[in-house]
A = this chain, B = another copy of it.
């Protein structure tokens, strides 16, 4: 119901910051994950690659903590990334329970491309904003996100089982 649909969305909804935020967020998420999907990846994959790129190798546990992902889910994500050759798993010889996960060159390259995709999406979506406005928007969102109690990358207080 943007400009496309003949009937406008209810102002009552658009007047609510929360609702509007969830709407645009959904759109962003959708477009982004569409792009990633064309490479067989999902948002979590990108998140993991980014975490590794930003902070170096992690144990899976640490990745879980950083990204607020369930360990069992992380296992699956890591498994797939390993399949793509984007990460490397090595048993920690000191504590053989642990698996240390590190980025491969392939992974680093992949991440670069993914970031490129993300930038493309934002250029699409944020077209109506000037550069200044984008920067402001970004800083606002960052403030909000940073303050959010447990507003993890995963924001798990979502729809799970009540």
Contact = CB atoms under 8 A, between A and B. Distances in A.
Interface of A: 1-14, 16-34, 37, 43, 46-47, 50-51, 53-55, 62, 65-68, 111, 115, 118-119, 121-122, 125-129, 133-134, 136-138, 140-153, 155, 157-159, 162
B128 A147 contact: yes
A162 B1 contact: no
Contacts of A119: 16
7 contacts: A2-B146, A4-B151, A10-B47, A23-B155, A24-B151, A27-B155, A137-B137
B127 A14 contact: no
Number of copies of chain A assembled together: 2
A18 to B, nearest CB: 5
B1 A153 contact: yes
A93 to B, nearest CB: 24
